[in-house]
Amino acid sequence: MEGGDLELGNLWGFANALQLTVTILLGLIILRACRTWHLQGSRSIPSKGSFGWPIIGETVGVISCNSSYPFDSWLADHTKRFGTMFKSHLFMKPSIILMKPDELKYFFDDPDKGLDSGAPWALKQIFGAKSVLAMNGNEHTKMHKLLADSLMIPELRKKLPEMDRLMLQSISKWGGNTVEVLDALQDMLLKFMTLNFFGIPWEDKLGAQIVSLLFPALLGITSIPVYFPGTTFYKAVQARRQLNALLMPIIGALRSSETTEILKYAKLERFPYQNLLEHEAETDAVRKKKEESGDTAFSISDLKELKYTTQVYHEVLRITNITPGASRTATKDLTFNGYVMPKGWRLLAVLSPLHKDPEHFPEPSKFDPDRFLMPPNPKTYLPFGRGNRTCVGRDITKLLVVSTLYHICSRFTWKIVSEDKGMYYFPVVRLAGKYELAFSPRS
Ligand code: HEM
């Protein structure tokens, strides 16, 4: 080929690429304009907010939140521009974000009976339409009650000795070692859930297999639903399939009790340890009392004595917002605060602005367990939501966290070994780096 032909070919290639780019850009602009017109023109929705880009909306902005630009900053930027209760387009759906106490009350209490679970498509793929998170109406009420009953204090009282045994078995190996604490606690919780929901001891081969599949499956709940090898969603679907194969025979046998939902996991965060070290008198007193009585196992009545540890627990939940919020779908046009929230739109309740409102929690970024010297106010502290979809795991979470902290504090002193690398916010709130503590047995 002659040099001139080559240049001409290059030019044509460039012109084609340019034409294609311009066409795509124009298409995107028109699409965006059409959608905005359609959504804004037809109904009285909150006029404040932004739909972002076509199809993806503002999703990328949310999922790329990290330590230097946390989800709180994304929310703060939006509220500064639009006020509270603004619209957005997230995870393929037009959405309305709610955060003020009256907005959250409307969301959780659903006085107009117009809100469905709003379970994302990814969740239904992984946990099925018959998961409590996806169910609605009477079916949901029944399942919620079954689960809640199996996880409330009277039932937990029976399960506590086994929980305690598991905890001590794991913690007893920590003295003199450096431990990745979050992984160790997560493993403990998954093992306990395997025992609690399926009656399978984690020491069994089957128990160990289930434990190893639960976490990847749970991670998929909030993943981007791209079914391609390597993605979180793909791994979650695969894990769910394997869990199905393992669990179907057992579920068949357990069907009468129907308590076969496995859902969330609780995490201890990095904040409490230093504060607890400074308040060792409390755990010491409880331990001494128990040793004198000859019964060292943790009991429900110990919760009352561990007041400071419980304050720490509340403050961790307030400041970390491990579950950032909740989601619903409007099943009809709803009117609230003068706005129509159209049928089919997603409503997202976010909890962090409430838990970090200086009016209710002065100096909100400061970790200060003494805020909870008095029991938390249910209007301004909602880490487990409220209403008919309130968290069924709240009692077990408190019991697990407070008793684990008690066991750790009464046995060890520790030093933080790993460097603080901040937080990730998607697909779940978690530490960006390892969280290793070096434990020494207490004298
Ligand atoms: C720190 C730990 C936890 C936090 C902050 C948390 C938070 C929440 C929140 C805010 C909701 C309400 C969602 C909504 O209104 O749609 C919820 C629901 C739920 N949680 Fe938790 N949770 C935690 C641990 C657990 C644990 C350990 C379990 C199970 C053992 C669990 C099981 C559930 C279930 C089944 C629901 C759905 C209830 C329903 O839709 O009827 N959670 N959780």
Instruction: Give domain limits for the chain.
Output: 7-97, 126-347+361-441
Please say whether the dihedral angle defined by the alpha carbons of residues 182, 273, 65 and 349, taken in this order, is positive or negative.
Answer: positive
By most ligand atoms within 8 Å of CB, the mutation choice from 198, 384, 405, 429 for ligand 1 is 384
Any ligand 1 atom below 6 A from CB of 385: yes
Q: Measure the CA dihedral 418/424/430/432, to 10°.
A: -20
Q: What pLDDT, on a 0 to 100 scale, did the predictor assign at position 264?
A: 31
pLDDT at 192 over 70: yes
User: Quick check: 133 and 117 in contact, CB under 8 A?
Assistant: yes
Band (pLDDT 50/70/90 cuts) for residue 362 is very high
pLDDT at 265 over 50: no
Separation of CA 395 and ligand 1 centre (Å): 11
- Whole-number Å distance between alpha carbons of 341 and 98: 12
Cβ partners under 8 Å of residue 235, min gap 6: 216, 219, 220
pLDDT at 369 over 50: yes
The least confident of 116-125, 339-348, 376-385, 401-410 is 116-125
The least confident of 40-44, 68-72, 207-211, 388-392 is 40-44
The least confident of 36-45, 53-62, 370-379, 383-392 is 36-45
pLDDT single digits (tens) 161-172: 888 888 888 888
pLDDT at 389 over 70: yes
Closest atom of ligand 1 to CA, residue 322 = 5
The mean of the pLDDT values for the chain is 81
| Nearest partner of 397 among 384, 379, 387, 381, judged by Cα | 384
pLDDT single digits (tens) 112-164: 999 999 887 778 887 777 788 889 999 999 889 888 888 888 888 888 888 88
Q: What pLDDT, on a 0 to 100 scale, did the predictor assign at position 307?
A: 92
Of 193 and 135, the one with more pLDDT? 135
The least confident of 12-21, 81-90, 254-263, 279-288 is 254-263
Separation of CA 393 and ligand 1 centre (Å): 6
Any ligand 1 atom below 6 A from CB of 318: no
Of 65 and 110, the one with more pLDDT? 110
Band (pLDDT 50/70/90 cuts) for residue 2 is very low
Nearest CA to ligand 1 atom 41: 389
Burial of 418 (0-12, 13-18, 19+ CB in 10 A): middle
- Whole-number Å distance between alpha carbons of 102 and 75: 18
pLDDT at 408 over 80: yes
Separation of CA 388 and ligand 1 centre (Å): 12
pLDDT at 255 over 60: no
Any ligand 1 atom below 6 A from CB of 383: yes
CATH of domain 126-347+361-441: 1.10.630.10
pLDDT at 275 over 70: no
Band (pLDDT 50/70/90 cuts) for residue 220 is confident
Interface confidence, given as ipTM, is: 0.98
Q: What pLDDT, on a 0 to 100 scale, did the predictor assign at position 77?
A: 95
Band (pLDDT 50/70/90 cuts) for residue 8 is low
Separation of CA 9 and ligand 1 centre (Å): 61
For a pLDDT cut of 90, what percent of the chain falls above it? 28
pLDDT at 175 over 60: yes
DSSP symbol at 221: G
Mean pLDDT confidence for 229-258 = 74
Closest atom of ligand 1 to CA, residue 387 = 15
Mean pLDDT confidence for 223-228 = 80
Band (pLDDT 50/70/90 cuts) for residue 317 is very high
Q: What pLDDT, on a 0 to 100 scale, did the predictor assign at position 254?
A: 47
pLDDT single digits (tens) 414-436: 888 888 777 777 767 777 888 88
Of 35 and 254, the one with more pLDDT? 35
Separation of CA 392 and ligand 1 centre (Å): 6
Q: What pLDDT, on a 0 to 100 scale, did the predictor assign at position 196?
A: 73
For helices 205-219 and 181-198, give the axis angle rounded to 10 degrees. Answer: 110
| Nearest partner of 121 among 241, 223, 245, judged by Cα | 223
- Residue 306, helix vs strand vs coil: coil
Q: What pLDDT, on a 0 to 100 scale, did the predictor assign at position 361?
A: 97
pLDDT at 351 over 80: yes
Q: What pLDDT, on a 0 to 100 scale, did the predictor assign at position 429?
A: 77
Q: What pLDDT, on a 0 to 100 scale, did the predictor assign at position 53?
A: 87
Please say whether the dihedral angle defined by the alpha carbons of residues 314, 85, 66 and 424, taken in this order, is positive or negative.
Answer: positive
Question: Residue 351: which H helix or E strand, with range?
Answer: none
